[in-house]
Amino acid sequence: MQWKAFWGHLSTITRHRHTVIRHCWKAGIFWQGLRHDLSKYSPTEFCQGVRYYQGGRRSPNEAEREDLGYSLAWMHHKGRNRHHFEYWCDYNPITKRVDPVRMPMRYLAEMFCDRVAASKIYNKERYDTTCPLTYFQNSSARKRGELHKETADELMELLELLASHGEGAAFSELRRRVKSDRRLRHEKKRDRKKKD
Ligand SMILES: [Zn+2]
């Protein structure tokens, strides 16, 4: 076991998690935020993270992929963490393919928090509120349509708001959307119970 890589990786994932939790608090999904990326501490993800540690400059998943041709850590991660759009794909009986499905608002909100935190850590002193938008605009996943159309549009809207009006405005809009989605879900649940 490489101790430098062990402590380095532990500190990278823990610092990232704490920034995301602070953002989730502002987005009105604090309890959900507390569980953010917990699977990174599981043996499958943690051991690969240490083995392929890149000094915190680059994701260990990329190095693992270069070595094995795939990243076990990433496949384990995306299959369990609903704040990744890659989780939200399912077999479509009409197209007979695996297609993206729309992300529920609370997970889209967590994805927003995750992207802003990652952008802050990655860009360091060069960070400003336009960075997460630029990153998403250039993303090949977006260009190739790997996100559901409505999910991509909703995320773009929020990132544009962040870029033009700052964190205060973006998080208050996010909170508003999360709240109205929660209300809608509770109403649906109540209606379903009444029918039973
Ligand atoms: Zn994650």
CA-closest candidate to residue 41, choices 65, 64, 62, 11:
11
Cα-to-centroid distance, 189 and ligand 1 (Å): 28
Domain assignment present for residue 45? The answer is: no
Q: How many domains does the chain have?
A: 1
Residue 65: predicted pLDDT: 97
Residue 66: predicted pLDDT: 96
Whether residue 109 has pLDDT greater than 70: yes
* Mean pLDDT of all residues in 169-183: 97
Whether residue 1 has pLDDT greater than 70: no
Cβ burial, residue 193 (10 Å; 0-12/13-18/19+): exposed
Domain assignment present for residue 76? The answer is: no
Q: CB–CB of 119/127 below 8 Å? A: yes
Domain assignment present for residue 71? The answer is: no
Residue 132 in tokens: 């997460």
Write down the mean pLDDT value for the chain: 95
Cα-to-centroid distance, 193 and ligand 1 (Å): 34
Given the structure tokens 């604090």, which residue do they identify?
Answer: 30
Cβ burial, residue 87 (10 Å; 0-12/13-18/19+): middle
Residue 138: predicted pLDDT: 97
Cα-to-centroid distance, 126 and ligand 1 (Å): 23
Task: Give Cα 175 to chain centroid, integer Å.
Answer: 17
Domain assignment present for residue 27? The answer is: yes
Domain assignment present for residue 51? The answer is: no
For residue 148, give its domain range: 3-37+81-195
Domain assignment present for residue 139? The answer is: yes
Domain assignment present for residue 177? The answer is: yes
Contacts 24+ apart (CB under 8 A), 86-89: 86/146, 88/148, 88/151
Residue 125 in tokens: 């002193």
Instruction: Fill in the amino acid letter for 11.
Output: S
**Percent of all residues in the chain with a pLDDT value above 90, rounded to a whole number:** 91
Cα-to-centroid distance, 111 and ligand 1 (Å): 8
Domain assignment present for residue 73? The answer is: no
Residue 11: predicted pLDDT: 95
pTM: 0.93
DSSP state of 130: T
Cα-to-centroid distance, 154 and ligand 1 (Å): 19
Residue 169: predicted pLDDT: 97
